[in-house]
Amino acid sequence: MKILVAEDEPVSRRLIEKALKQANYEVVAVENGRLAVEQLCQPQGPRLALLDWVMPELDGPGVCGVVRRQRQQPYVYMILLSSKESKQDIVTGLESGADDYLVKPFDPEELRARLRTGLRVLQLEDKLVEAREDMRFKATHDPLTLLFNRGVILDLLARELARTRRQKGCTTLLLGDLDHFKEVNDTYGHVVGDEVLREVARRLVGAVRSYDFVGRYGGEEFLVVLNNCEAGAALIRAEEIREAIAGRPVKTTRGLLPVTMSLGALTSQFVADKTVEEILQLADLALYEAKAAGRNCVKVANPSVSAATPDCSVR
């Protein structure tokens, strides 16, 4: 664990640094409060700190106050070191943002014990942050494919369309459906079907740019949002994605399985007056046309055609 020691007196600083290194800490030593703030507010800065109360440029309580205001995550555990020992001094130090207080001269064993307490606090904080992020991920991602779930991908689509309209840009929407996927489940079982879905999701993510969006729309349907993609490039990009799926069979526990995808494509520059629901209906109609045309192909939506409910038996 990296620890900061801020102490303006050179001899004391070296003694503390030596004791901490013997306890296997990685020590960053500075001689004033300004340098302490610079170190602690770095993204990968120390998360444990020993701060002398009286220092040039900025004292220990001042460092605590600045760090608490500027660095929210991850948490920094700070211990003030001082010869002051009145209750009012202790209250002042703790209210500045310090987590603990140690009166000089201190016993090295007591210092190590207080640092172990700080480590336990930081470990608990890390576990809470990890649990929070895990809950957030589960709430926004499909558990099987790990893609954005339906609610999130639709929200991202709506936001991207709104941004595109403001900036007079263009977004391309691809609605893809795996061909004959029911036969995969019926012939090989749902475990193999899940293997296929996971591999298709991986290929979709690999076929788009880092700032595009990919989500599981439902079942074997996927929604791809290509940001800043105009009509001239839409068909080319869609064919690249189709080929990424169909180009080689999927390796499963039951052997290699050929997998293809039909896609309906739509570019936003032709549907500026339509709602997200209407745009999705047009993309779905284009997908239906791709299915009717023999599958494993891309069809571009015609905004002048009224969206109708496709015959799902064609899927």
| Cα-based distances in Å from 157 to 111, 175, 215, 262, 301 | 54, 12, 10, 20, 17
Single residue among 118, 139, 160 that ends a domain in this structure: 139
Tell me how many domains the chain contains.
2
Distance CA 168, CA 218 (A): 30
Single residue among 93, 112, 139 that ends a domain in this structure: 139
Contact 39, 45 (CB under 8 A): yes
The verdict on whether 220 is a catalytic residue reads yes
Residues 92 and 198 occupy one common structural domain: no
Report pLDDT for 315.
58
pTM of the model: 0.73
Distance CA 205, CA 212 (A): 9
* CATH code where residue 180 lies: 3.30.70.270
Tell me which residue has tokens 């263009």.
170
Catalytic residue among 7, 199, 220, 221: 220
Instruction: Name residues of the chain where pLDDT drops below 70.
Output: 305-315
Task: Give pLDDT tens digits for 156-166.
Answer: 999 999 999 88
Report pLDDT for 80.
93
Task: Give pLDDT tens digits for 253-290.
Answer: 999 999 999 999 999 887 878 899 999 999 999 999 99
Provide the domain limits for residue 99: 2-139
Residues 115 and 242 occupy one common structural domain: no
